[in-house]
């Protein structure tokens, strides 16, 4: 039977050998309803202790409040492992004064609208966040990035980099500059699902030329 991607509208995209859905893995777009979170199709999150229905946003981004002034934007086909956390800008304290104590939060006259840091956190497409990775406020993670287990990501990460450590640093680039330019131009994550399924061998082989030949 020809391979096909699980329906993007499903909640649990992984089907176990006994035919039951794997409750610990969700297509994140279908598991969250949060005004400050945007998630692309086919991005999944996994957890060995999955939250109850409606709890995935709070589990992954505990400081992303409904009234926060920033957004968490996650692209398509991202892979989010157990223990990953996004620390939103709303969690940041103002460090420009003598004290970092958030006095305004405890004052009913000033608490609403108080947020010293309003930077969005943005992930590109096809990003793999390893076990326990921590993404800090305002991080910009490019397409095709691999974030090592336990890494603490801040600032900008270039497309198709492998990063690890605290703070996360580039260990290597996955492809040459020319190949990365081709991959970004192809934007395979935006292809129709049927075309992506047909391109699976090229995607799994890491063959940029073969992928280009599959472009619809």
Confirm whether 76 is domain-assigned: yes
pLDDT digits (tens, 9 = 90+) for 178-189: 999 999 999 999
Range of the domain at 163: 25-174
Are residues 93 and 113 part of one domain?
Answer: yes
pLDDT digits (tens, 9 = 90+) for 48-105: 999 988 899 999 999 999 999 999 999 999 999 999 999 999 999 999 999 999 999 9
Q: What is the DSSP letter of 66?
A: T
Are residues 121 and 184 part of one domain?
Answer: no
Give pLDDT, residue 167.
97
Strands 85-86 and 134-135: parallel
- Catalytic site residue from 12, 82, 93, 125: 93
Confirm whether 122 is domain-assigned: yes
pLDDT digits (tens, 9 = 90+) for 25-57: 999 999 999 999 999 999 999 999 999 888 999
Confirm whether 30 is domain-assigned: yes
Is 93 a catalytic site residue? yes
Q: Report in angstroms the alpha-carbon separations of 11 from 21, 54, 59, 77, 164.
A: 9, 12, 16, 14, 30
Are residues 154 and 130 part of one domain?
Answer: yes
Are residues 153 and 102 part of one domain?
Answer: yes
Q: Are 193 and 8 in contact (CB under 8 A)?
A: yes
pTM confidence score: 0.94
Structure-derived torsion over alpha carbons of residues 60, 63, 69, 74, reported in degrees to the nearest 10: -10
């Amino acid at each position: 039977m020809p391979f096909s991607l699980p329906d993007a509208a499903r909640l649990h995209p992984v089907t176990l050998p006994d035919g039951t859905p794997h409750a610990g893995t969700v297509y994140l777009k279908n598991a969250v309803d949060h005004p400050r979170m945007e998630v692309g199709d086919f991005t999944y999150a996994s957890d060995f202790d999955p939250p109850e229905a409606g709890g995935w946003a709070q589990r992954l981004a505990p400081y992303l409040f409904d009234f926060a002034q920033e957004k968490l934007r996650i692209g398509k086909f991202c892979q989010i492992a157990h223990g990953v956390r996004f620390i939103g800008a709303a969690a940041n304290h103002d460090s420009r004064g003598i004290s970092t104590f958030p006095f305004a939060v405890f004052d009913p006259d000033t608490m609403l609208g108080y947020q010293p840091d309003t930077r969005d956190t943005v992930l590109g497409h096809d990003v793999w966040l390893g076990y326990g990775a921590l993404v800090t406020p305002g991080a910009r993670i490019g397409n095709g990035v691999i974030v090592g287990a336990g890494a603490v990501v801040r600032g900008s990460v270039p497309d198709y980099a492998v990063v690890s450590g605290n703070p996360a640093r580039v260990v290597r680039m996955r492809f040459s500059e020319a190949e990365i330019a081709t991959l970004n131009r192809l934007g395979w994550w935006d292809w129709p699902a049927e075309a992506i399924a047909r391109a699976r061998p090229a995607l799994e082989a890491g063959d940029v030329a073969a992928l280009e030949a599959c472009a619809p």
